[in-house]
Amino acid sequence: MCAAALLPVSDPIETFLEQDQTNSLLRFITCGSVDDGKSTLIGRLLYDSQSVFEDQLESVTRASAGRHAGPIDFSLLTDGLRAEREQGITIDVAYRYFATPRRKFIIADTPGHEQYTRNMATGASTAELAVVLVDSRKGLLPQSKRHSFVASLLGIRHLVIAVNKMDIVGYSRAVFANIETQFRDFLSRFEKIETYFIPVSALAGDNVVLPSRNMPWFDGPPLLEYLEEVDVESECAEEPFRFPVQRVVRAGDGFRGYAGTVSSGSISAGTPVTAMPSGRTTTIERIATFDGDLNEASAGQAITLTLSDELDIARGDLFAPVNALPDLAHSLRATLIWMHADPGEAGKRYRLKHATQQVWASISEIHHAINIHTLQPETATRLEMNSISVVGIETSRALWFDSYQRNRATGSFILIDPATNATVAGGLIEGPGSHTRQTKESLLRDVNWAVKNGSLVISVPGLAHETDLSALDYRDALEALENLLNLLDVQVSNEQRDD
Protein backbone atom coordinates (compact mmCIF):
# COMPACT_ATOMS: atom_id res chain seq x y z
CA MET A 1 0.00 0.00 0.00
CA CYS A 2 1.15 3.50 -0.78
CA ALA A 3 2.30 5.18 2.42
CA ALA A 4 1.37 8.65 1.26
CA ALA A 5 -2.28 7.67 1.10
CA LEU A 6 -2.32 7.14 4.86
CA LEU A 7 -1.20 10.68 5.65
CA PRO A 8 -3.97 13.03 6.75
CA VAL A 9 -4.69 15.60 4.08
CA SER A 10 -6.02 18.81 5.59
CA ASP A 11 -7.30 20.84 2.67
CA PRO A 12 -5.78 19.60 -0.56
CA ILE A 13 -7.28 22.19 -2.87
CA GLU A 14 -6.08 25.15 -0.81
CA THR A 15 -2.63 23.57 -0.75
CA PHE A 16 -2.78 23.12 -4.52
CA LEU A 17 -3.83 26.70 -5.21
CA GLU A 18 -1.10 27.91 -2.90
CA GLN A 19 1.59 25.81 -4.59
CA ASP A 20 0.36 27.08 -7.89
CA GLN A 21 1.40 30.60 -6.89
CA THR A 22 4.95 29.73 -7.83
CA ASN A 23 4.09 27.85 -10.98
CA SER A 24 5.94 29.03 -14.04
CA LEU A 25 5.43 28.23 -17.70
CA LEU A 26 7.98 26.40 -19.87
CA ARG A 27 7.57 26.25 -23.64
CA PHE A 28 9.60 23.60 -25.40
CA ILE A 29 9.70 21.87 -28.75
CA THR A 30 10.34 18.25 -29.52
CA CYS A 31 12.11 17.37 -32.73
CA GLY A 32 13.07 14.08 -34.18
CA SER A 33 12.97 12.11 -37.40
CA VAL A 34 10.09 9.97 -38.54
CA ASP A 35 10.83 6.89 -36.48
CA ASP A 36 12.66 8.38 -33.54
CA GLY A 37 9.67 7.80 -31.30
CA LYS A 38 8.87 11.44 -30.67
CA SER A 39 5.11 11.08 -30.58
CA THR A 40 5.56 8.12 -28.25
CA LEU A 41 7.74 10.21 -25.94
CA ILE A 42 5.16 13.01 -25.79
CA GLY A 43 2.34 10.53 -25.33
CA ARG A 44 4.34 9.02 -22.47
CA LEU A 45 4.90 12.43 -20.82
CA LEU A 46 1.19 13.25 -21.09
CA TYR A 47 0.12 9.80 -19.93
CA ASP A 48 2.55 9.47 -17.05
CA SER A 49 1.83 13.02 -15.84
CA GLN A 50 -1.88 12.09 -15.98
CA SER A 51 -2.73 14.70 -18.59
CA VAL A 52 -4.61 12.18 -20.69
CA PHE A 53 -8.25 11.55 -19.96
CA GLU A 54 -9.82 8.10 -20.03
CA ASP A 55 -12.21 8.86 -22.85
CA GLN A 56 -9.35 10.15 -25.03
CA LEU A 57 -7.46 6.99 -24.22
CA GLU A 58 -10.46 4.83 -25.14
CA SER A 59 -10.82 6.62 -28.45
CA VAL A 60 -7.12 6.04 -29.12
CA THR A 61 -7.31 2.40 -28.08
CA ARG A 62 -10.17 1.94 -30.54
CA ALA A 63 -8.24 3.69 -33.30
CA SER A 64 -5.01 1.76 -32.69
CA ALA A 65 -6.65 -1.59 -33.29
CA GLY A 66 -5.05 -2.88 -36.46
CA ARG A 67 -1.94 -0.75 -36.19
CA HIS A 68 1.34 -2.09 -34.85
CA ALA A 69 3.00 -0.75 -31.63
CA GLY A 70 2.39 -1.84 -28.06
CA PRO A 71 -0.80 -2.18 -26.02
CA ILE A 72 -1.47 1.58 -26.17
CA ASP A 73 -0.12 3.42 -29.18
CA PHE A 74 0.93 6.64 -27.40
CA SER A 75 1.67 8.34 -30.69
CA LEU A 76 -2.08 8.35 -31.46
CA LEU A 77 -2.65 10.68 -28.53
CA THR A 78 -0.82 13.39 -30.41
CA ASP A 79 -1.61 12.67 -34.06
CA GLY A 80 -4.65 14.88 -34.29
CA LEU A 81 -5.78 15.29 -37.83
CA ARG A 82 -7.49 12.68 -39.97
CA ALA A 83 -5.17 13.34 -42.88
CA GLU A 84 -2.24 12.44 -40.68
CA ARG A 85 -3.87 9.44 -39.18
CA GLU A 86 -4.51 8.10 -42.64
CA GLN A 87 -0.87 8.57 -43.62
CA GLY A 88 0.54 7.62 -40.24
CA ILE A 89 2.75 10.74 -40.13
CA THR A 90 2.58 14.08 -38.33
CA ILE A 91 2.50 16.93 -40.81
CA ASP A 92 2.05 20.11 -38.84
CA VAL A 93 2.98 21.77 -35.56
CA ALA A 94 0.71 20.63 -32.75
CA TYR A 95 0.60 22.15 -29.31
CA ARG A 96 0.19 20.01 -26.18
CA TYR A 97 -0.34 21.04 -22.61
CA PHE A 98 0.51 19.35 -19.37
CA ALA A 99 1.28 20.33 -15.86
CA THR A 100 3.04 18.98 -12.81
CA PRO A 101 2.76 20.52 -9.36
CA ARG A 102 5.94 22.44 -10.14
CA ARG A 103 5.52 23.74 -13.66
CA LYS A 104 3.11 24.14 -16.55
CA PHE A 105 4.34 23.01 -19.95
CA ILE A 106 3.46 23.86 -23.53
CA ILE A 107 4.95 21.45 -26.06
CA ALA A 108 5.24 22.39 -29.71
CA ASP A 109 5.31 18.99 -31.37
CA THR A 110 7.15 19.47 -34.65
CA PRO A 111 7.54 16.89 -37.37
CA GLY A 112 10.97 15.74 -38.37
CA HIS A 113 10.70 15.38 -42.12
CA GLU A 114 13.22 17.25 -44.20
CA GLN A 115 10.52 19.14 -46.05
CA TYR A 116 9.09 20.51 -42.85
CA THR A 117 11.85 22.85 -41.68
CA ARG A 118 9.18 25.51 -41.65
CA ASN A 119 7.21 23.66 -39.00
CA MET A 120 10.19 23.31 -36.76
CA ALA A 121 11.03 26.99 -37.13
CA THR A 122 7.42 27.82 -36.27
CA GLY A 123 7.51 25.69 -33.13
CA ALA A 124 10.96 26.94 -32.14
CA SER A 125 10.03 30.60 -32.53
CA THR A 126 8.20 30.65 -29.20
CA ALA A 127 10.13 27.92 -27.37
CA GLU A 128 12.76 28.29 -24.67
CA LEU A 129 14.06 24.73 -24.87
CA ALA A 130 14.31 21.98 -27.47
CA VAL A 131 14.26 18.22 -26.94
CA VAL A 132 16.12 16.60 -29.85
CA LEU A 133 15.44 12.90 -30.20
CA VAL A 134 18.15 10.58 -31.45
CA ASP A 135 17.62 6.93 -32.28
CA SER A 136 20.23 4.96 -30.31
CA ARG A 137 20.67 2.54 -33.24
CA LYS A 138 21.31 5.27 -35.78
CA GLY A 139 23.36 7.74 -33.75
CA LEU A 140 24.01 11.28 -34.87
CA LEU A 141 22.18 11.72 -38.21
CA PRO A 142 22.12 14.80 -40.44
CA GLN A 143 18.55 15.44 -39.22
CA SER A 144 19.72 15.74 -35.62
CA LYS A 145 22.31 18.29 -36.71
CA ARG A 146 19.67 20.13 -38.68
CA HIS A 147 17.29 20.22 -35.73
CA SER A 148 19.98 21.53 -33.42
CA PHE A 149 20.97 24.15 -35.97
CA VAL A 150 17.42 25.40 -36.50
CA ALA A 151 16.78 25.49 -32.75
CA SER A 152 19.93 27.50 -32.17
CA LEU A 153 19.18 29.80 -35.10
CA LEU A 154 15.73 30.54 -33.68
CA GLY A 155 17.31 31.57 -30.39
CA ILE A 156 16.80 28.49 -28.25
CA ARG A 157 19.49 28.34 -25.58
CA HIS A 158 18.65 25.02 -23.93
CA LEU A 159 19.00 21.70 -25.77
CA VAL A 160 18.09 18.32 -24.35
CA ILE A 161 19.48 15.47 -26.41
CA ALA A 162 17.33 12.43 -25.65
CA VAL A 163 18.93 9.24 -26.95
CA ASN A 164 15.85 7.08 -27.41
CA LYS A 165 15.21 3.36 -27.86
CA MET A 166 17.90 2.46 -25.34
CA ASP A 167 15.96 -0.78 -24.72
CA ILE A 168 16.79 -1.95 -28.24
CA VAL A 169 20.56 -1.53 -27.74
CA GLY A 170 20.49 -3.37 -24.42
CA TYR A 171 20.69 -0.14 -22.38
CA SER A 172 24.34 0.07 -23.46
CA ARG A 173 26.35 2.77 -21.74
CA ALA A 174 28.94 2.68 -24.56
CA VAL A 175 26.33 3.38 -27.25
CA PHE A 176 25.08 6.40 -25.29
CA ALA A 177 28.59 7.69 -24.55
CA ASN A 178 29.57 7.39 -28.19
CA ILE A 179 26.58 9.42 -29.39
CA GLU A 180 27.16 12.03 -26.68
CA THR A 181 30.79 12.50 -27.69
CA GLN A 182 29.94 12.92 -31.37
CA PHE A 183 27.08 15.27 -30.62
CA ARG A 184 29.06 17.44 -28.19
CA ASP A 185 31.73 17.84 -30.82
CA PHE A 186 29.12 19.02 -33.31
CA LEU A 187 27.39 21.36 -30.83
CA SER A 188 30.61 23.09 -29.85
CA ARG A 189 30.16 25.38 -32.86
CA PHE A 190 27.08 27.00 -31.33
CA GLU A 191 27.53 29.73 -28.77
CA LYS A 192 25.63 30.08 -25.52
CA ILE A 193 23.93 26.70 -25.69
CA GLU A 194 23.31 24.70 -22.53
CA THR A 195 22.97 20.97 -23.19
CA TYR A 196 21.67 17.95 -21.30
CA PHE A 197 22.22 14.42 -22.65
CA ILE A 198 19.90 11.71 -21.41
CA PRO A 199 19.39 8.02 -22.37
CA VAL A 200 15.69 7.09 -22.53
CA SER A 201 13.21 4.54 -23.76
CA ALA A 202 9.94 6.31 -24.48
CA LEU A 203 8.19 3.01 -25.18
CA ALA A 204 9.34 1.35 -21.95
CA GLY A 205 9.29 4.56 -19.91
CA ASP A 206 12.97 4.59 -18.90
CA ASN A 207 14.16 8.03 -17.68
CA VAL A 208 11.05 9.79 -18.95
CA VAL A 209 9.17 10.41 -15.72
CA LEU A 210 10.92 7.94 -13.43
CA PRO A 211 14.65 7.10 -13.20
CA SER A 212 15.49 3.98 -15.20
CA ARG A 213 16.23 0.80 -13.29
CA ASN A 214 17.82 -0.53 -16.47
CA MET A 215 20.47 2.18 -16.61
CA PRO A 216 21.92 2.52 -13.11
CA TRP A 217 25.07 3.94 -14.75
CA PHE A 218 23.17 7.14 -15.55
CA ASP A 219 22.79 9.37 -12.50
CA GLY A 220 21.17 12.48 -14.02
CA PRO A 221 17.53 13.37 -13.36
CA PRO A 222 14.86 11.85 -15.64
CA LEU A 223 13.57 14.02 -18.46
CA LEU A 224 10.48 15.37 -16.68
CA GLU A 225 12.44 16.32 -13.58
CA TYR A 226 15.01 18.14 -15.70
CA LEU A 227 12.23 20.04 -17.51
CA GLU A 228 10.69 21.00 -14.16
CA GLU A 229 13.95 22.39 -12.86
CA VAL A 230 15.79 23.88 -15.79
CA ASP A 231 16.29 27.62 -15.39
CA VAL A 232 15.24 29.42 -18.57
CA GLU A 233 15.11 32.86 -17.00
CA SER A 234 14.51 35.01 -19.99
CA GLU A 235 17.43 36.98 -21.34
CA CYS A 236 15.07 39.65 -22.64
CA ALA A 237 14.64 40.97 -19.09
CA GLU A 238 18.25 42.14 -19.31
CA GLU A 239 17.97 43.82 -22.70
CA PRO A 240 17.10 47.54 -22.95
CA PHE A 241 13.45 48.56 -22.68
CA ARG A 242 11.45 48.09 -25.90
CA PHE A 243 7.76 48.93 -26.23
CA PRO A 244 6.22 48.69 -29.72
CA VAL A 245 2.96 50.67 -29.75
CA GLN A 246 0.06 48.41 -30.65
CA ARG A 247 -2.79 50.87 -30.43
CA VAL A 248 -3.51 54.46 -29.52
CA VAL A 249 -6.19 54.41 -26.80
CA ARG A 250 -8.55 57.32 -26.40
CA ALA A 251 -11.22 57.33 -23.72
CA GLY A 252 -14.02 59.73 -22.88
CA ASP A 253 -12.33 61.76 -20.18
CA GLY A 254 -9.53 63.03 -22.42
CA PHE A 255 -7.42 59.94 -21.78
CA ARG A 256 -4.82 59.31 -24.45
CA GLY A 257 -2.54 56.33 -24.02
CA TYR A 258 -0.47 53.82 -25.95
CA ALA A 259 -1.29 50.15 -25.53
CA GLY A 260 1.25 47.41 -26.11
CA THR A 261 3.35 44.63 -24.64
CA VAL A 262 6.79 45.24 -23.17
CA SER A 263 9.16 43.30 -25.47
CA SER A 264 12.19 43.54 -23.24
CA GLY A 265 13.61 45.33 -20.22
CA SER A 266 11.40 47.32 -17.89
CA ILE A 267 9.93 50.77 -17.48
CA SER A 268 8.79 52.89 -14.55
CA ALA A 269 6.63 55.98 -14.38
CA GLY A 270 8.60 59.21 -14.63
CA THR A 271 11.28 57.73 -16.91
CA PRO A 272 12.30 59.64 -20.06
CA VAL A 273 12.02 57.67 -23.31
CA THR A 274 12.66 58.29 -26.98
CA ALA A 275 9.91 57.60 -29.50
CA MET A 276 11.07 55.91 -32.70
CA PRO A 277 11.23 56.63 -35.56
CA SER A 278 10.63 60.34 -34.80
CA GLY A 279 13.48 60.49 -32.31
CA ARG A 280 11.52 62.81 -30.03
CA THR A 281 12.04 62.47 -26.30
CA THR A 282 9.24 62.44 -23.75
CA THR A 283 8.52 61.09 -20.27
CA ILE A 284 6.32 58.18 -19.21
CA GLU A 285 3.57 59.61 -17.04
CA ARG A 286 1.44 56.60 -16.07
CA ILE A 287 1.48 52.83 -16.55
CA ALA A 288 -2.26 52.22 -16.74
CA THR A 289 -3.96 48.83 -16.39
CA PHE A 290 -7.49 47.61 -15.65
CA ASP A 291 -6.19 46.48 -12.25
CA GLY A 292 -4.82 49.92 -11.38
CA ASP A 293 -1.73 51.93 -12.25
CA LEU A 294 1.66 50.24 -11.91
CA ASN A 295 4.91 51.82 -10.77
CA GLU A 296 6.93 49.50 -12.98
CA ALA A 297 6.31 47.03 -15.80
CA SER A 298 8.68 44.50 -17.34
CA ALA A 299 9.08 42.18 -20.32
CA GLY A 300 5.92 40.28 -21.21
CA GLN A 301 3.44 42.62 -19.53
CA ALA A 302 0.56 44.07 -21.57
CA ILE A 303 0.06 47.67 -20.42
CA THR A 304 -1.01 51.13 -21.54
CA LEU A 305 1.43 54.05 -21.24
CA THR A 306 0.56 57.71 -21.05
CA LEU A 307 3.06 60.49 -21.76
CA SER A 308 3.70 63.75 -19.94
CA ASP A 309 3.40 65.69 -23.18
CA GLU A 310 1.45 65.32 -26.40
CA LEU A 311 3.51 63.66 -29.10
CA ASP A 312 2.17 62.39 -32.38
CA ILE A 313 2.55 58.66 -31.82
CA ALA A 314 0.97 55.95 -33.97
CA ARG A 315 0.79 52.15 -34.10
CA GLY A 316 4.17 50.80 -35.12
CA ASP A 317 6.16 53.42 -33.21
CA LEU A 318 8.48 52.31 -30.42
CA PHE A 319 9.45 53.66 -27.00
CA ALA A 320 13.06 52.98 -26.03
CA PRO A 321 15.50 54.34 -23.44
CA VAL A 322 17.11 57.62 -24.47
CA ASN A 323 20.58 56.08 -24.25
CA ALA A 324 19.84 52.64 -25.74
CA LEU A 325 18.05 53.09 -29.05
CA PRO A 326 17.55 50.32 -31.58
CA ASP A 327 18.88 50.54 -35.13
CA LEU A 328 16.92 52.58 -37.65
CA ALA A 329 17.44 51.76 -41.32
CA HIS A 330 15.82 51.21 -44.71
CA SER A 331 18.09 48.33 -45.44
CA LEU A 332 18.76 45.28 -43.33
CA ARG A 333 20.56 41.97 -43.42
CA ALA A 334 18.50 39.01 -42.33
CA THR A 335 18.19 35.23 -42.36
CA LEU A 336 15.03 34.11 -44.12
CA ILE A 337 13.33 30.78 -43.58
CA TRP A 338 11.22 30.30 -46.67
CA MET A 339 7.86 28.70 -45.93
CA HIS A 340 5.92 28.70 -49.15
CA ALA A 341 5.92 26.62 -52.33
CA ASP A 342 6.20 29.79 -54.44
CA PRO A 343 9.91 30.58 -54.28
CA GLY A 344 11.21 33.91 -53.07
CA GLU A 345 12.99 36.09 -55.57
CA ALA A 346 15.13 39.19 -55.45
CA GLY A 347 13.17 42.25 -56.52
CA LYS A 348 9.73 40.87 -55.70
CA ARG A 349 7.70 42.95 -53.28
CA TYR A 350 6.24 41.67 -50.03
CA ARG A 351 4.46 43.05 -47.02
CA LEU A 352 6.83 42.93 -44.09
CA LYS A 353 5.33 42.73 -40.60
CA HIS A 354 7.77 43.49 -37.81
CA ALA A 355 6.46 43.80 -34.22
CA THR A 356 3.47 46.11 -34.71
CA GLN A 357 4.54 47.77 -37.96
CA GLN A 358 3.90 46.80 -41.57
CA VAL A 359 5.84 48.12 -44.55
CA TRP A 360 6.52 47.22 -48.14
CA ALA A 361 9.77 45.37 -48.59
CA SER A 362 11.76 43.65 -51.25
CA ILE A 363 14.64 41.22 -51.21
CA SER A 364 17.47 43.26 -52.65
CA GLU A 365 20.12 40.59 -52.66
CA ILE A 366 20.51 36.90 -51.86
CA HIS A 367 23.89 36.68 -50.16
CA HIS A 368 23.89 32.91 -49.77
CA ALA A 369 21.79 29.94 -48.74
CA ILE A 370 22.74 27.62 -45.91
CA ASN A 371 22.88 24.00 -46.99
CA ILE A 372 20.66 22.34 -44.44
CA HIS A 373 22.59 19.06 -44.68
CA THR A 374 26.17 20.31 -44.49
CA LEU A 375 25.30 23.61 -42.75
CA GLN A 376 27.73 25.24 -45.20
CA PRO A 377 26.95 28.39 -47.21
CA GLU A 378 26.23 27.94 -50.91
CA THR A 379 25.10 30.21 -53.69
CA ALA A 380 21.41 30.57 -54.42
CA THR A 381 19.36 32.51 -56.93
CA ARG A 382 15.92 31.74 -55.50
CA LEU A 383 14.54 30.99 -52.05
CA GLU A 384 12.93 27.56 -52.13
CA MET A 385 10.47 26.14 -49.62
CA ASN A 386 12.24 25.16 -46.38
CA SER A 387 15.47 26.87 -47.39
CA ILE A 388 17.42 29.06 -44.99
CA SER A 389 19.18 32.00 -46.63
CA VAL A 390 20.96 35.19 -45.72
CA VAL A 391 19.58 38.13 -47.70
CA GLY A 392 19.51 41.89 -47.95
CA ILE A 393 16.11 43.53 -47.51
CA GLU A 394 15.03 47.03 -48.49
CA THR A 395 11.99 48.56 -46.84
CA SER A 396 9.69 51.36 -48.01
CA ARG A 397 10.34 53.34 -44.88
CA ALA A 398 12.92 53.12 -42.15
CA LEU A 399 12.41 50.32 -39.62
CA TRP A 400 13.59 50.36 -36.04
CA PHE A 401 14.97 46.97 -34.99
CA ASP A 402 17.46 45.01 -32.91
CA SER A 403 19.38 41.93 -33.96
CA TYR A 404 17.44 38.69 -33.45
CA GLN A 405 20.20 37.17 -31.36
CA ARG A 406 19.79 40.02 -28.86
CA ASN A 407 16.04 40.41 -28.95
CA ARG A 408 13.58 37.95 -30.47
CA ALA A 409 10.63 40.35 -30.38
CA THR A 410 12.28 43.33 -32.06
CA GLY A 411 14.56 41.24 -34.29
CA SER A 412 11.95 39.09 -36.03
CA PHE A 413 9.54 39.65 -38.90
CA ILE A 414 7.37 37.80 -41.36
CA LEU A 415 6.97 38.32 -45.10
CA ILE A 416 3.48 38.19 -46.63
CA ASP A 417 2.74 37.75 -50.32
CA PRO A 418 0.43 40.71 -51.09
CA ALA A 419 -1.39 38.76 -53.82
CA THR A 420 -2.32 35.68 -51.78
CA ASN A 421 -1.81 37.02 -48.23
CA ALA A 422 0.11 33.83 -47.47
CA THR A 423 2.89 34.03 -44.89
CA VAL A 424 5.86 33.14 -47.09
CA ALA A 425 8.85 33.58 -44.78
CA GLY A 426 10.06 34.14 -41.27
CA GLY A 427 12.93 36.59 -40.92
CA LEU A 428 15.67 36.95 -38.31
CA ILE A 429 17.43 40.30 -38.43
CA GLU A 430 21.23 40.32 -38.26
CA GLY A 431 21.65 44.08 -38.47
CA PRO A 432 21.54 47.07 -40.78
CA GLY A 433 22.25 46.28 -44.42
CA SER A 434 25.64 47.01 -45.92
CA HIS A 435 23.98 49.03 -48.63
CA THR A 436 24.59 52.70 -47.89
CA ARG A 437 21.43 54.71 -48.01
CA GLN A 438 20.97 58.31 -48.88
CA THR A 439 19.66 60.32 -45.99
CA LYS A 440 16.26 61.94 -46.29
CA GLU A 441 17.95 65.34 -46.31
CA SER A 442 19.98 64.50 -49.38
CA LEU A 443 16.90 63.00 -51.03
CA LEU A 444 15.01 66.20 -50.35
CA ARG A 445 17.40 68.08 -52.62
CA ASP A 446 16.10 65.98 -55.53
CA VAL A 447 12.49 66.90 -54.96
CA ASN A 448 10.93 69.45 -57.27
CA TRP A 449 8.71 72.04 -55.68
CA ALA A 450 6.27 73.98 -57.83
CA VAL A 451 3.11 76.02 -57.61
CA LYS A 452 0.46 74.89 -60.10
CA ASN A 453 -2.92 76.59 -60.24
CA GLY A 454 -2.36 78.06 -56.81
CA SER A 455 -1.39 74.74 -55.16
CA LEU A 456 1.98 73.60 -53.91
CA VAL A 457 2.93 70.47 -55.83
CA ILE A 458 5.93 68.30 -55.13
CA SER A 459 7.34 65.66 -57.40
CA VAL A 460 10.35 63.43 -57.63
CA PRO A 461 12.47 63.20 -60.79
CA GLY A 462 11.85 60.02 -62.77
CA LEU A 463 8.54 59.28 -61.11
CA ALA A 464 5.21 60.06 -62.71
CA HIS A 465 3.73 60.97 -59.39
CA GLU A 466 2.71 64.30 -57.99
CA THR A 467 1.20 65.25 -54.68
CA ASP A 468 -0.83 68.37 -54.06
CA LEU A 469 0.13 69.46 -50.57
CA SER A 470 -2.24 72.35 -50.14
CA ALA A 471 -5.28 70.11 -49.98
CA LEU A 472 -3.86 68.08 -47.08
CA ASP A 473 -3.44 68.85 -43.42
CA TYR A 474 -0.03 68.95 -41.81
CA ARG A 475 0.30 65.28 -40.93
CA ASP A 476 -1.09 64.09 -44.26
CA ALA A 477 1.27 66.42 -46.05
CA LEU A 478 4.25 65.02 -44.16
CA GLU A 479 3.08 61.52 -44.95
CA ALA A 480 2.64 62.38 -48.61
CA LEU A 481 6.13 63.79 -48.65
CA GLU A 482 7.49 60.72 -46.93
CA ASN A 483 5.68 58.57 -49.44
CA LEU A 484 7.36 60.35 -52.26
CA LEU A 485 10.74 59.92 -50.63
CA ASN A 486 10.01 56.26 -50.09
CA LEU A 487 9.01 55.86 -53.68
CA LEU A 488 12.31 57.30 -54.73
CA ASP A 489 14.03 55.26 -52.09
CA VAL A 490 12.99 51.80 -53.20
CA GLN A 491 12.51 52.68 -56.82
CA VAL A 492 8.89 51.75 -56.71
CA SER A 493 6.71 53.95 -58.81
CA ASN A 494 3.30 52.42 -58.87
CA GLU A 495 2.05 51.90 -55.35
CA GLN A 496 1.34 54.10 -52.39
CA ARG A 497 1.84 53.05 -48.82
CA ASP A 498 -1.28 51.41 -47.67
CA ASP A 499 -0.60 51.11 -44.00
Q: How far apart are CA 410 and CA 400, in angstroms?
A: 8
Which residues from 298-317 bind another protein, rule CB under 8 A?
300-302, 304, 315
Q: How far apart are CA 315 and CA 359, in angstroms?
A: 12
Q: Up-side HSE of residue 148: CA atoms within 13 Å toward CB?
A: 29
| Phi, psi dihedrals of residue 20, rounded to the nearest 5° | -65, -15
Alpha-carbon Rg of the chain, whole angstroms? Answer: 27
Binds another protein (CB under 8 A): choice among 34, 48, 104, 193: 104
Q: Are 316 and 332 in contact (CB under 8 A)?
A: no
Q: Does 496 bind another protein (CB under 8 A)?
A: no
Which residues from 60-79 bind another protein, rule CB under 8 A?
62-63, 77-79
Q: Does 289 bind another protein (CB under 8 A)?
A: yes
Q: Does 53 bind another protein (CB under 8 A)?
A: yes
Cβ 22 to another protein shortest distance, Å: 7
Number of residues interacting with another protein: please give it, by CB under 8 A.
79
DSSP-based three-state secondary structure for 41: helix
Of the pair 43, 433, the CB lying nearest another protein is at: 43
Of the pair 78, 143, the CB lying nearest another protein is at: 78
Cβ 454 to another protein shortest distance, Å: 37
Tell me the β-bridge partners of 319.
Answer: 243, 275
Q: Are 363 and 348 in contact (CB under 8 A)?
A: yes
DSSP H or E stretch at residue 485 = helix 474-490
Q: How far apart are CA 161 and CA 225, in angstroms?
A: 15
Q: Does 41 bind another protein (CB under 8 A)?
A: no
The DSSP code for 21 is G
Cβ 13 to another protein shortest distance, Å: 4
Q: How far apart are CA 483 and CA 393, in angstroms?
A: 18
Binds another protein (CB under 8 A): choice among 379, 421, 453, 494: 421
Q: Which stretch binds another protein (CB under 8 A): 164-172, 415-423, 458-466, 476-484?
A: 415-423
Binds another protein (CB under 8 A): choice among 34, 72, 92, 459: 92
Cβ 425 to another protein shortest distance, Å: 9
Q: How far apart are CA 200 and CA 223, in angstroms?
A: 8
Cβ 103 to another protein shortest distance, Å: 8
Which residues from 213-272 bind another protein, rule CB under 8 A?
246-247, 249-251, 253, 255, 257, 259-261
Count of CB atoms situated within 10 Å of the CB of 316: 21
Q: Does 423 bind another protein (CB under 8 A)?
A: yes
Q: How far apart are CA 186 and CA 235, in angstroms?
A: 25
Of the pair 90, 201, the CB lying nearest another protein is at: 90
Which residues from 121-160 bind another protein, rule CB under 8 A?
121-122, 125-126
Which residues from 345-384 bind another protein, rule CB under 8 A?
351, 353-356
Q: Are 225 and 212 in contact (CB under 8 A)?
A: no
Of the pair 149, 183, the CB lying nearest another protein is at: 149
Cβ 41 to another protein shortest distance, Å: 16
Q: Does 4 bind another protein (CB under 8 A)?
A: no
**Residue 410: closest CA among 326, 285, 473, 346:** 326
Which residues from 9-28 bind another protein, rule CB under 8 A?
12-14, 16-17, 20-25
Query: Cα torsion at 134, 137, 140, 142 (round to 10°)?
Result: -90
